Amino acid sequence: MRKLTEQQINDAVRLLKMPADSKLLTHLNACVHCGLCAESCMYYRTMGEDKFIPARKVELVASLYRRYCTLTGKAVPFLVNARELDEKMAEEMIDMLFGACTLCGRCVKHCSIGVDIAYVVHVGRRMLAAANLVPSSLQTSVDTALLTGNNMGIPSEDFVDTIQWLEEELTDEYGQEACIPLNRTGSKILYTLNPREAKFFPLSISAMAKIFFAAKESWTLSTNMYDVTNYGLFSGNNNQAKQIAKRLHDEVLNMQSQTLVLGECGHGSRANRWEAPNYLQQSYEFNVITTVELINEYIRSGRIKVDKSLNQALATIHDPCNLVRNGGLLSEIRFTVTNTVSDFVEMNPHGMDSFCCGGGGGQLAMSEYNDRRLNTGFLKAEQIRATGAKVVITPCHNCVDQLSQLNHLYKLGIKIKTLAEITADALVL
Ligand code: SF4
Ligand code: SF4
């Protein structure tokens, strides 16, 4: 790594000096070193080295706080383990805070005194972002989204081609009324999706289109802005996260829609549903809900009819961290699954205590950590195998991608479906 400039160090450390962040101060100073968080983290459990213990990740940021923000740390740093932000420290932070944490939050639930470890790790990422030290692989996803409107840089004409092909298939199956509307101003719902769907999993777009068709919904996609993801949440650059969130916000107003529906993407839902009002410093002027909640509501209200006997294979749920532990949608997912499959088994543990699949926190974008990501996924693979399930349902395309790789690597022999896909399979028209 190149020698850090004074400017980089000052920009990073400034975040620790912000007096408004009383939460950070509390959580930086609270750890009692009990070690209870160690076993909660899949990185420590699968690789066994002490450096992967969640408290060690907090300590990296805390040692900088002591060095730059406390009198003792400034005067006698060696007495209080106060560290300088130099190249060695920066490399360690990048490796541990970007490359060995998915911000899944499981350790937070296991901490004996409630230290918000994921929050402190995110502050560490923000410090690295301020010093221009975000891994270039992750930064590319953010830059591509800012430049092209979607994080995969899919040209608009390719997206339109994919949608038109899907629409032809759909009308062959259901007749002319079934369509995938593009740029239809005034539609009640503006629907968004993860660009991975257009590129690798187009059938999940038609699954959602079938559900909208069955519900007789007024909806549209916008070719201008359909990407639900926001990798600014993971890179730690809040300004760029804000720009991406604002683009989607403005598109809802531009399309004159009443409701923004966030496609099946855990971090995209978190970024747009719960974080964006903070980025934008305003409440939304329209409704924002996740696909999980929308499908749940369609079934609950009888607006769509489903028959669980149409999905007979034993199924289980993988809970995306950002929708369940960090978003609270545990029962909504289960309501839909138990109404659309006839044979269901829970993983152990699941729900609020579920293990991350290993693909969160931007890990799928950072190919330099691929081996580590697939190693940590071993825990999830063994959990799935233990259920005996043939189908794993998860409402997040990042998780779908990671689970597909785990399926291949650990020879699980499963099918992976989104909530829309399993619901579409059970639709009665
Ligand atoms: S947030 Fe998740 S990945 Fe990060 S340290 Fe905690 S348990 Fe480990
Ligand atoms: S469980 Fe909490 S208090 Fe204990 S070592 Fe981990 S972060 Fe510190």
Rounded Cα–Cα distance for residues 368 and 136 (Å): 10
Is the beta carbon of 32 within 6 A of some atom in ligand 2? yes
Question: Do 169 and 27 share a domain, yes or no?
Answer: no
- Position 218 scores a pLDDT of 97
**Distance from residue 51's CA to the centre of ligand 2 (Å):** 14
Same domain for 159 and 241, yes or no, is yes
Q: What CA–CA distance (Å, rounded) separates 25 from 111?
A: 17
Can you give the CATH number for the domain in which 354 is found? 3.40.50
Q: Same domain, yes or no, for 240 and 256?
A: yes
| Pairwise CA distance, residues 304 & 298, whole Å | 6
Q: What atom of ligand 1 comes closest to residue 43's alpha carbon?
A: 8
Quote the CA–CA distance of 151 and 55 in Å, as a whole number: 32
Q: Indicate whether residue 38 lines ligand 2 (CB < 6 A).
A: no
38 C-alpha vs ligand 2 centroid, how far in Å?
8
Q: Which of 267, 297, 327 is the last residue of a domain?
A: 297
List the helix and strand counts (H, then E) for the chain. 21, 9
The reply to whether 272 and 144 lie within a common domain is yes
Res 177: pLDDT: 78
Q: What is the CATH number of the domain that holds 45?
A: 1.10.1060.10
Q: Is the CB of 114 under 6 A from ligand 2?
A: no
Confirm or reject: Cβ of 120 under 6 Å from ligand 1.
no
Question: What count of other Cβ atoms lies within 10 Å of the Cβ of residue 243?
Answer: 16
Ligand 2 proximity of 37 Cβ (cutoff 6 Å): yes
Predicted confidence at residue 20, as pLDDT, reads: 64
Of all ligands present, the nearest one to the C-alpha of 36 is 2
**Residue 145 resides in a domain:** yes
pLDDT at res. 123: 96
φ and ψ at 24, to 5 degrees?
-60, -45
CA-closest residue to ligand 1 atom 7: 41
Of all ligands present, the nearest one to the C-alpha of 379 is 1
Is 285 inside a domain boundary? Answer: yes
- Do 393 and 253 belong to one domain? no
Distance 123 CA to ligand 2 centre (A): 17
Question: Bridge partners of 261?
Answer: 191, 289
- CA of 127 relative to ligand 1 center, distance in Å: 18
What distance in angstroms lies between residue 41's CA and the mean position of ligand 2's atoms?
12
Phi, psi torsion values for 415, nearest 5 degrees: -105, 145
**Judging by DSSP bridges, how do beta strands 219-220 and 189-191 pair with one another?**
parallel
pLDDT tens digits for the chain (429 residues)?
Answer: 889 999 999 999 999 987 667 889 889 989 999 999 999 999 999 999 999 999 999 999 999 999 999 999 999 999 999 999 999 999 999 999 999 999 999 999 999 999 999 999 999 999 999 999 999 999 999 999 999 999 999 999 999 999 999 999 999 998 877 899 999 999 999 999 999 999 999 999 999 999 999 999 999 999 999 999 999 999 999 999 999 999 999 999 999 999 999 999 999 999 999 999 999 999 999 999 999 999 999 999 999 999 999 999 999 999 999 999 999 999 999 999 999 999 999 999 999 999 999 999 999 999 999 999 999 999 999 999 999 999 999 999 999 999 999 999 999 999 999 999 999 999 998
Into how many domains does the chain fold? 3
Are 163 and 253 found together in one domain? yes
Please state whether beta strands 427-428 and 305-306 pair in parallel, antiparallel, or not at all (unpaired): antiparallel
What global pTM score does this model have?
A: 0.95
Same domain? For 25 and 40 the reply is yes
> How far is 425 from 12, CA to CA, in rounded Å?
50
Task: State the closest ligand 1 atom to the C-alpha of 40, by its place in the atom list counted from 1.
Answer: 7
Domain C-terminal end among 243, 264, 297: 297
In a domain, residue 1? The reply is no
Whether the upstream peptide bond of residue 277 has omega within 30° of 0, thus cis, is: no
Q: How far is the CA of 326 from the centre of ligand 2 (A)?
A: 19
The structure tokens listed for 306 are 């489903």
End of a domain among 263, 297, 331? 297
Instruction: Decide: 190 and 257 in contact? Cβ < 8 Å.
Output: yes
Query: Is there a contact between 198 and 154 (Cβ–Cβ < 8 Å)?
Result: yes
Q: Is 358 in the pocket of ligand 1 (CB under 6 A)?
A: no
Residue 416 falls inside a structural domain: yes
Asked if residue 13 is part of any domain, the answer here is yes
User: Do 118 and 224 sit in the same domain of this protein?
Assistant: no
Is residue 155 within 6 Å of ligand 2 at its C-beta? no
Shared-domain flag, residues 220 and 321? no
Q: Tell which atom from ligand 1 comes closest to the C-alpha of 376.
A: 3
Which atom of ligand 1 has the smallest separation from the CA of 57?
Answer: 5
Q: Is 101 in the pocket of ligand 1 (CB under 6 A)?
A: yes
For residue 203, the CA-to-ligand 1 centroid distance in Å is 32
Residues 362 and 270 in one domain: no
pLDDT at 22: 82
CA 338 – ligand 1 centroid, Å? 30
Residues 153 and 35 in one domain: no
Query: Domain range for residue 50?
Result: 6-133
CA angle 415, 296, 201 (to 5 degrees): 35
Going 151 to 156 to 161 to 164, the CA torsion angle's sign is: positive
Find all residues with CB under 8 Å of 50, minimum gap 6, and list them.
44, 56
User: Are 289 and 172 in the same domain?
Assistant: yes
